[in-house]
Structure 1
Amino acid sequence: MRKVYAGIDIGTYHVKCVLAAPADNPEAPMQILGTGTSISRGMRHGYIVDGKETQKSIRDALQKAQAAAKVKIQRARVAMGGVGLDEIRSTGEVTLTPSGGLVTDREIDRALKESEKRAASKLVNRTIIHTIPLEFRVDGTKVLGKPQGLQGTKLSVDTLLITMIAQHYDEIMDAVEEAGVEPEGVMASPLAASMVTLTKAQKTAGVMLANIGAETLSIIVFDNDTPVSLKVFPVGSSDITNTIALSFQIPLTEAEQMKRGAVTGSDIAPKKMQTIVAARLKDMFVLINAHLKSLGRQRLLPAGVVITGGGSGLASASEIAKAILKLPSQIGQVGYLPRTSSVDATWAVAYGLCRWAYAEDLSDGKGTLGDAFRHAFDSVRQAFRSLLP
């Protein structure tokens, strides 16, 4: 019997659950067995404000997915998103004396843990979700390729720590458990989405994935096939709806429909509506551009920006991104799916979690996805590369 993988994406407006199983051929797309979605209650900006309501929403989405797939699951991968996510940069340094001057997996682990210790003052009330090595150095010389097997006296590593507010993390984990499922792993939402919306070629050249959610705008930047930055801004497509409602003094439900062009025969001129939508989208991409500038990557991502999320469907989103960022721009699509699949980019996070779980199993117990990012060049990462579109 094929193993079934489950991914749960708990958003501010919707909870989405995907159940998927691998094909007989590992190179073939996973089969989507069932999907379930529910209105997300008890959430605000990606964190829980009412645990009971959130539990009900998770349970509802799970039940729908299980009914569609005709299977029962006990465990699932969970995405962590919202304004509680942030990045911290750190450096770890260890001597190679214990290993006789040889770089081994153990020494790499020591260096990574040392980088986490050095960031302790910035980790008050925060939990580390991912520790991603950005660059290794042996005796001050940058390592090109695998650090394992090199000789020297000192190993250094620059890391990107993806963290989340500890209280938010604990409350989401508790809500999933109370909904009747055991969380068997967590991943930052932008990272999960990138697994099925970005290609290896894009990540290697340099690319940014921007997700315009209801109440948050999240981005993850890749260079040389490695995540180099993750940021979440407390703005989203609901801010555009609010601006429309205030500008034309209309109910929020009508403003939401007008934003998406679902209202005809209105007294409000389409050009005025487009002006408001464009202005708010411009504000969002100005924020992103400022962050890219702080990273030293402004106008320096050859693969450009890929836009996902509910806000990606707004007219002119891609064009505005291109104009502000001065980068190639496109609307994201979920890759590596059967041609008959109806799953679109709004399911990218949940489906990406399933792909993560499957990739770990393909590694034959050699490690986890955490290891894949902690050990940037090990065999587990090779398993991931075989899965990416």
Structure 2
Amino acid sequence: MGIKILGIDIGSTQICAVMVEHDPRSNNSVKVIGMGTIKSQGLKKGSITNIELASNSIKSVVSDVVRVAGTKFDKVIVSISGKDAKNIDCKDVINIPEKEVTIKQIERAISSAEYKVKVPHDYEILHTLPYNFKVDEQDNIEDPLGMNGTRLEVQAHIIAVQKSAIMNLRKAIEKAGLKADNIVLSGYASAISTLNEDEKSLGTVLIDLGGSSCNMVIHSGNSIRYNDFLSVGSLNITTDISTVLHTPPAVAEEIKIKYGTLKAKNNELIVLPDLGDENSSHEVDINVIINVIYMRVEEALMILAKMLSESGYKEYASAGIVLTGGMAKLEGLKELATAIFDNMPVRIARPREFESSIDVFKDPSNSCAIGLCLYGAGYFTPYEIDSERKLRYKDEIMLKPNPFVSIKELDDNASKPVSSSNFSIYDEPVAKSESKPKVELDLKIDDNSDKNNLKSNMNLDKVNSVSKIVNYLKNLF
């Protein structure tokens, strides 16, 4: 059995959850086994505004995915928007006494580079992504592991996010009965699922056009070099249609989906209900709707193009622009984006396809959720320090999390009556005929008295063992 990975894309307009089964022993195969979406509550413009509502939405969509997949999950990977993220570059050099670069030395170099930068006190490092290594005088090394040398230099890009945003996200996840194994920048996750190796190598701007925001990352070589955020999305188009055409937002959303194009059409009149009065209606030319959509999309792309120019990383995007996300489904978007981004190559991207029992790859709005699952399966940069401050690398052994239970938790649970309320909604039922699962104990010693008691017990066991051996020898001779 493979590892079950649950990716949860927490967006401001919808929450999308995808579960995959990853088998590292079978050519690193990944298969989609479950998916669900739900309208977001308690989120706005990339931020959690109501933890209770957000956790209820997360809990609901995860329950749907578990039912579809028919199994529980082993790992949970969650997205966070780039709204509160900062870009920080760092570098450092360390000596290599062993004259050979090991995983330990690589981790020490990255951690040392982290230590030398000043991260604002109200920010927390989410990702540290090395983009260049140098061994002695040899530069632009893709992978220094196993190379001989006396000095290792690393240059890395740090993505730092406001502590409050991460804490609120973790609280919402925990209230939903989950624990996030990793938190991943949403633009980073989308890049994992959409960019091919050539685009990564040459350098590409990936823009995830979401419901209420746009996340932009610039990927060059081995890593992300820059990330940015724009609080404009397809929901703004719905608001514009509702305001300009004086029709209810629900109707405006239906019109956007049905007539979502940037190309002019033949004159056609559409009957729309009036805002605030369902019994009255008015006629609107379809081209008026298209113009409203066009103006909003054009404005958003122009702002994004300006952000790219001001970033100082436009020259790193030799492979051009890749657009994904829900708003990328608009007809004519590629042509408009090409014109606005100074005739740079533009590609509309859907998530990369692999084995699946569900049709999830045709919709660009699933790119982030699928990218989160791939991240959990090891499809990240060659080296990075993740949100849990652990070194991740491409050839690491992927294992199922091992659930340890403390003695206190075991005692507390033993005193509780057995009922369905004691179990998570995500746990699989166990048949009566099955043997009890093996529980591994994680001994947690909190005070000196416990330590002394434990030591005395261990010494007593040793004395008893010696006495038994002595008596056995006496009887023998």
User: Structure 1 340/183 Cα, relative in aligned 2: closer, same or farther at 3 Å?
Assistant: closer
Aligned to 2:339: 323
Aligned to 2:244: 247
1:307 maps to 2:323:
yes
Alpha-carbon distance in 1 for matches of 2:140, 2:315: 27
User: Structure 1 145/313 Cα, relative in aligned 2: closer, same or farther at 3 Å?
Assistant: closer
Unaligned segments of structure 1, at least 5 residues: 361-368, 385-389
Letter in 2 for 1:312: A
Are 2:234 and 2:327, in contact at CA under 8 Å, matched by a contact in 1? yes
Deviations 1:186-222 (A, max 9, x none): 2111111222211112211222221111111101111
Are 2:133 and 2:142, in contact at CA under 8 Å, matched by a contact in 1? no
Are 2:82 and 2:185, in contact at CA under 8 Å, matched by a contact in 1? no
Aligned to 2:275: none
Alpha-carbon distance in 1 for matches of 2:329, 2:152: 47
Query: Residue 107 of structure 2 aligns to a residue in which SS?
Result: helix
Q: How does 1:21-100 map to 2 (within 5 A)?
A: 21-22=21-22, 26-27=26-27, 30-73=30-73, 75-94=75-94, 96=95, 99=97
Query: Residue 146 of structure 1 aligns to a residue in which SS?
Result: coil
Aligned-CA RMSD value: 2.9
User: Structure 1 124/287 Cα, relative in aligned 2: closer, same or farther at 3 Å?
Assistant: farther
Unaligned segments of structure 2, at least 5 residues: 261-268, 272-282, 398-477
Flag the structure with more relative contact order, 1 or 2, with Cα contacts below 8 A and sequence separation at least 6.
1
Are 1:102 and 1:150, in contact at CA under 8 Å, matched by a contact in 2? yes
Query: Residue 212 of structure 2 aligns to a residue in which SS?
Result: coil
Alpha-carbon distance in 2 for matches of 1:323, 1:272: 22
Alpha-carbon distance in 2 for matches of 1:225, 1:288: 23
Alpha-carbon distance in 1 for matches of 2:28, 2:135: 40
Aligned to 1:128: 125
Are 1:74 and 1:181, in contact at CA under 8 Å, matched by a contact in 2? no
User: Structure 1 304/382 Cα, relative in aligned 2: closer, same or farther at 3 Å?
Assistant: farther
Aligned to 1:351: 370
1:151 maps to 2:149:
yes
Computing the radius of gyration over CA atoms, which structure comes out larger, 1 or 2? 2
Larger mean CA deviation between 126-135 and 141-150 belongs to: 141-150
Q: What displacement does 1:176 show?
A: 1.0
Alpha-carbon distance in 2 for matches of 1:36, 1:305: 29
Alpha-carbon distance in 2 for matches of 1:323, 1:26: 45
What is the identity percentage for the equivalent residue pairs of Structure 1 and Structure 2? 22
Query: Residue 270 of structure 2 aligns to a residue in which SS?
Result: coil
1:278 maps to 2:294:
yes
Aligned to 1:373: 384
Aligned to 1:196: 193
User: Structure 1 83/300 Cα, relative in aligned 2: closer, same or farther at 3 Å?
Assistant: closer
Alpha-carbon distance in 1 for matches of 2:335, 2:86: 28
Alpha-carbon distance in 2 for matches of 1:81, 1:37: 18
2:115 to 100, 114, 117: 117
Aligned to 1:160: 157
Letter in 1 for 2:188: L
Aligned to 1:364: none
Aligned to 1:288: 304
Are 1:196 and 1:334, in contact at CA under 8 Å, matched by a contact in 2? yes
Are 1:86 and 1:232, in contact at CA under 8 Å, matched by a contact in 2? no
> What TM-score, normalized to structure 1?
0.85
Are 1:131 and 1:370, in contact at CA under 8 Å, matched by a contact in 2? no
Alpha-carbon distance in 1 for matches of 2:339, 2:259: 26
1:298 maps to 2:314:
yes
Deviations 1:347-377 (A, max 9, x none): 22222222222238xxxxxxxx5872359xx
1:180 maps to 2:199:
no
1:335 maps to 2:352:
yes
Q: What displacement does 1:275 show?
A: 2.3
Give the total of aligned pairs: 370
